Amino acid sequence: MKKRIGKRPICLEEYVPINGISQFLYHLGTRRDNPVMLFLHGGPGSVESLFTRTFQDKWEEIYTVVHWDQRGAGKTLARHPDQFPTMDVLLQDLYEVVQYLKAKYSKRQLVILGHSWGSVLGSLFIRKHPEDAAYYVGVGQVVNMLENERVGYQKVKEAIVLSGDRRSLKQLESIGEYPGENIVFNREFLKKCGKVRKLQGKYNLAVKIGIGIWFTVFQSPIFRFSDITSFLNLAKANAYLHQFLGSFNLREEPAVYQVPIYYILGGNDWQAPFVIAQQYFEEIAAPRKGIVILPDAGHMTMMDQPDSFYDALRNISRMEESNA
């Protein structure tokens, strides 16, 4: 266990025994009696514990926020480079993390926030264990991976055609049929997907991994050089999860949830197109639900518009407090 002295009363890094291996948790908060939010990062394998300074300070006034580097990701992968997750294993990991945090903070339930891949994991978890979730917040919510890629491809094609960018159009057309009738995360698909993401990034429709991202990572108080190794190994470590993700479709089951559901979406997110989540949201039956679309935010919604994102979270928190 490793503690850090900071301005926050709750500021803790630790490795906890979870489902047979030690897994990394990063806690930040201002009051122990605040609700505990478990942040489920994207990817699979792309930890967001290294980005907390870019968006999270205000959150910590209303939540104790805990980041978990999942099996096959970040500091957990660095410590266990041969432990690769399957979906069943990861859901069990998550269950044990939740039980640990409930006991640590004396909470009956946690707030679950899932971003991108984390929204897949979070949506499945709250269906399986609704008793553990006070409410769920989906960000960059994934509903159907195949539909995501089809809609995102058409959007970037429209943008390229409207701009008269013949060079980019030629690059896009060279990819051929995309994404196809189904998604298999093999080398051919990953190559095509990489080209689509690059063009989406050019038109600010998807995340661009540039020097700015790495500068933010290097500034994190918990950054270690082993984090770079984990980033380079994340595709191999999460191969089983990528295959699961390729066929993922929330609509395979009725959109009925036993916990309140909230979505905060980027109105310029075409990596996990917000229009798909917006349509699915209308189908949801839940004790309470709400949706906020931030017009100038993309897939990294909380980093793109941190103040507006915080306002949305604060309103959700107040709504849930009034219904407690």
CA angle 40, 44, 48 (to 5 degrees): 45
Check whether residue 17 and residue 158 sit in a common domain.
no
Per-residue pLDDT band at 4 (split at 50, 70, 90): very low
Give Cβ neighbours of residue 256 (< 8 Å, ≥ 6 apart). 284, 285, 286
Contact 100, 16 (CB under 8 A): yes
pLDDT digits (tens, 9 = 90+) for 173-222: 999 999 999 998 888 998 999 999 999 999 999 887 777 777 888 889 99
Of 36, 41, 37, 5, nearest to 23 (Cα)?
41
Check whether residue 254 and residue 292 sit in a common domain.
yes
**Residue 211, domain member (yes or no):** no
Check whether residue 120 and residue 18 sit in a common domain.
yes
**Residue 221, domain member (yes or no):** no
**Residue 127, domain member (yes or no):** yes
**Residue 61, domain member (yes or no):** yes
CATH of the domain at 259: 3.40.50.1820
- How is residue 35 annotated by DSSP? P
Check whether residue 260 and residue 186 sit in a common domain.
no
**Residue 219, domain member (yes or no):** no
- First-to-last CA distance in the chain? 34
Check whether residue 153 and residue 92 sit in a common domain.
no
List the structure tokens of 175: 């990819």
Check whether residue 83 and residue 7 sit in a common domain.
yes
**pLDDT over 60 (residue 60):** yes
**Residue 209, domain member (yes or no):** no
What is the distance between the alpha carbons of residues 84 and 81, in angstroms, rounded to a whole number?
8
Count of domains forming the chain: 2
Per-residue pLDDT band at 1 (split at 50, 70, 90): very low
DSSP H/E element including 304: helix 301-304
| Domain range enclosing 303 | 2-144+227-242+249-322
Check whether residue 30 and residue 165 sit in a common domain.
no
Q: In Å, how far are 143, 190, 320 from 196, measured between CA atoms?
A: 19, 10, 39
Give Cβ neighbours of residue 124 (< 8 Å, ≥ 6 apart). 87, 91
Check whether residue 51 and residue 88 sit in a common domain.
yes
What is the distance between the alpha carbons of residues 3 and 205, in angstroms, rounded to a whole number?
39
What is the distance between the alpha carbons of residues 181 and 146, in angstroms, rounded to a whole number?
8
Contact 91, 124 (CB under 8 A): yes
Check whether residue 15 and residue 115 sit in a common domain.
yes
Check whether residue 168 and residue 130 sit in a common domain.
no
Check whether residue 154 and residue 69 sit in a common domain.
no
What is the distance between the alpha carbons of residues 139 and 230, in angstroms, rounded to a whole number?
24
pLDDT digits (tens, 9 = 90+) for 259-284: 999 999 999 999 999 999 999 999 99
Q: In Å, how far are 139, 268, 307 from 293, measured between CA atoms?
A: 10, 9, 13
Per-residue pLDDT band at 6 (split at 50, 70, 90): low
Check whether residue 28 and residue 42 sit in a common domain.
yes
Q: What is the pTM of this model?
A: 0.95
Q: Where are the alpha helices (DSSP H) in 106-208?
A: 117-128, 145-163, 166-173, 187-202
**The amino acid at 150:** R
Contact 250, 284 (CB under 8 A): no
